[in-house]
Amino acid sequence: MDSHTAQVWIAALSTLAVFSFLYRENPVYRWAEHTFVAMAVAHGVVMTWDNWIKPTITKDILKDGKYYLLTAVVVGLFFYARYFKGGAWLTRCAIAMTVGYWGGYMLGYSPAVLVGQLTGSFYKLSLAPSGINNTITFLTLVCTLTYFLFTIRQEKNPVVAIPANIGRWAMMVAFGTAFGNTIMARMSLFLGRLQFLLGDWLHAIK
Amino acid sequence: MGTLFLAAAATAPTPGLFGLVTSKMAFQFLLVVAYALAVYILVRRARAGLPVPPIRKIPGLEALEESVGRATEMGRPLMFIPGIGDLSDAQTYAAFAVLSHTAKACARYDTRMIVTNASYLAQPVTEEIVRQSYLEAGRPEAYNPEDVRYLSGDQFAWTSAVIGIMHREKSAANIMVGVFAAEALLLAEAGHQVGAVQIAASTNTFQLPFFFVVCDYTLIGEEMYAAGAYLAKEPTLTGTVGAQDWGKMLLLAIVVLGTILETVGSKWLRNLLAK
């Protein structure tokens, strides 16, 4: 058995082990699950070491002299402090810094995304066949946005209730379309696996 | 989401004076200031004891206590699944707010709760939230750190582990709030197989349909972000949701005005927003 054949057999048996879950949770599936998790951890450790930790130490800090990066190293080590008695507060500092960083980052850059979406929502309305899509999109947008007004009591306010209701229906139509689309993509993935099992593994199809 | 922000950062104009003043960002700056002002006004009102607009009923959130109660009656655990996002995603923060409320309810009813993390950054945060919730509920001794688990950072390795735990522990309720992608249907279907009552929340329009089909309750997009204020029933937090509504109404007005102008052939508002 050459290495390629061995690889195909491992892949085929692993696929069947995962598919066995369709019958019920069982020891074979459990083996596949634990192997998958273990391999993901091992892969993650190697990738993190190779792509981040090693180049940061050897190139950025030692070779290029970017000693300020040591600050990030120290903050990163704070995450491990919770494993020592009385060190949990240091971990909370590191978490606070991470949360603060992303909060500031989102505040700084999300309006740029928002304004692009806003001006992209200015439609040239028309009842002509060529412009009907714009009109439908505009009405759907307004109605759907109205649905997400939380502090206006819809049952007492038909000006909000009617468009919100239309918005909910519009969303359901959109979700239905997305559902069909994604199911087709999943079927395609399943067929890909079947092709592998019947073709590459069993050579029953070409 | 993080990638989206990185892409936005790459295309953003170069910062000018002190890194603060940039051209073509005036409207965006005003938008942030106006929103901050709205939040400030409504929070001040709430603190002064003045009425703030209440949040309309959101059935999925009303059902949270019911799901904890069901798990208690059946003597089986509740699973909280915060998705595959990390701290760079707002949906993860929304999940934390729901987690806190759920953990308190579990502590009160003496129901076991299992949290399954895919993010190593979210792991210590969820540990702290659950620990604190048990403490606030007056049952710190019931907190079991082994039930707040980091499984894997790999999307499908994590999924297979969550599904396995779901079946082995026979969870009575699954709360799925956070970032969900292609694993959404796999998780929801596994939960359905074990007969769990399921509440899901996501902003991913491609995965929401699966949650609609399989779960008992689904929070759509923005409803998830209102969850923290809705569950806490804290007037100051409700005030921030009111401020968000003001913001949405402002944006709605701008879209309507922009569309009217665009229809009559004017680019005035489009050009103004680009300044």
Say how far apart CA A29 and CA A73 lie, in whole Å. 39
Token digits of residue A186: 């999943």
Interface test with B, best of A175, A177, A186, A189 (most B CBs within 10 A): A175
Say how far apart CA B85 and CA B97 lie, in whole Å. 15
Helix, strand, coil percentages (3-state) for chain A, rounded to 5, are 85, 0, 15
B59-230 under CATH 3.40.50.300, yes or no: no
Say how far apart CA A202 and CA A42 lie, in whole Å. 31
pLDDT at B3: 52
- Residue entry with tokens 């994604």: A182
DSSP B240: H
Indicate the residue of B56, B88, B163 with minimum beta-carbon distance to A153: B56
Token digits of residue A132: 């009907």
> Rg of the Cα trace of chain B?
21
Token digits of residue B172: 């009575």
Indicate the residue of A32, A112, A175 with minimum beta-carbon distance to B208: A175
Determine phi and psi for B207, rounding to 5 degrees: -100, -25
Q: How many CB atoms lie within 10 A of CB B139?
A: 16
Q: Is A78 on the interface with B (CB under 8 A)?
A: no
pLDDT at B17: 58
What residue in A sits closest to B56 (Cα-Cα)?
A: A150
Indicate the residue of A39, A124, A179 with minimum beta-carbon distance to B263: A124
Token digits of residue B56: 């309309």
pLDDT at A4: 82
Q: State the nearest Cα–Cα gap between B107 and chain A, in angstroms.
A: 22
For chain B, give the longest Cα–Cα distance. 68
Of B232, B230, B202, B56, give the one whose Cα is nearest residue A149: B56
Q: Do B255 and A141 count as a contact with CB atoms less than 8 A apart? A: yes
Query: CA B30 → CA B85, B239, B247, distances in Å?
Result: 30, 20, 12
Amino acid letter, A85: K
Q: Is A115 on the interface with B (CB under 8 A)?
A: yes
pLDDT tens digits, A114-166: 788 889 999 999 888 878 999 999 999 999 999 999 998 877 788 899 999 99
pLDDT at A130: 76
A residues 35-74 lying closer than 8 A (beta carbon) to B: 36-37, 39-41, 43-44
pLDDT tens digits, B169-224: 999 999 999 999 999 999 999 999 999 999 999 999 999 999 999 999 999 999 99
Token digits of residue B95: 């999940």
DSSP B57: P
What residue in A sits closest to B121 (Cα-Cα)?
A: A95
Adjacent-strand bridge partners of B219: B201
Low-confidence stretches of chain B (pLDDT < 50) are 1-2
Q: State the nearest Cα–Cα gap between A146 and chain B, in angstroms.
A: 8
pLDDT tens digits, A166-189: 999 999 999 999 999 999 999 999
DSSP B210: H
The H or E element containing residue B252 is helix B235-263
Adjacent-strand bridge partners of B198: B174
> Rg of the Cα trace of chain A?
27
pLDDT at A204: 94
Domain ranges of chain B: 59-230
pLDDT at A128: 84
Q: Do A105 and B273 count as a contact with CB atoms less than 8 A apart? A: no
Q: State the nearest Cα–Cα gap between B203 and chain A, in angstroms.
A: 12
Q: Above 90 in pLDDT, residue A32?
A: yes
pLDDT at B1: 47
Judge contact between B139 and B110, C-beta under 8 A. Answer: yes
Q: Do A118 and B125 count as a contact with CB atoms less than 8 A apart? A: no
pLDDT at A127: 82
Q: Is B12 on the interface with A (CB under 8 A)?
A: yes
Strands lying side by side in the sheet with B113-117: B148-150, B113-117, B78-83, B173-179, B197-202, B217-220
What residue in A sits closest to B223 (Cα-Cα)?
A: A148
Determine phi and psi for B264, rounding to 5 degrees: -85, 5
Indicate the residue of A29, A106, A174 with minimum beta-carbon distance to B5: A106
Domain ranges of chain A: 121-206
Interface test with B, best of A20, A24, A31, A119 (most B CBs within 10 A): A119
Say how far apart CA B252 and CA B38 lie, in whole Å. 16
Contacts of A91 in chain B (CB under 8 A): 124
Q: Is A146 on the interface with B (CB under 8 A)?
A: yes
B residues 133-192 lying closer than 8 A (beta carbon) to A: 151-154, 156-158, 160-161, 163-164, 167-168, 185
Token digits of residue A113: 């995304």
Q: How confident is the model at residue A113 (pLDDT cuts 50, 70, 90)?
A: low
Judge contact between A151 and B245, C-beta under 8 A. Answer: yes
Q: Do A112 and B11 count as a contact with CB atoms less than 8 A apart? A: yes
User: What is the average pLDDT score of chain A?
Assistant: 91
Contacts of A52 in chain B (CB under 8 A): none
Q: Is B37 on the interface with A (CB under 8 A)?
A: no
Q: Is B205 on the interface with A (CB under 8 A)?
A: yes
Q: Is A138 on the interface with B (CB under 8 A)?
A: yes
Distance of CA B240 to the CA centre of its chain: 15
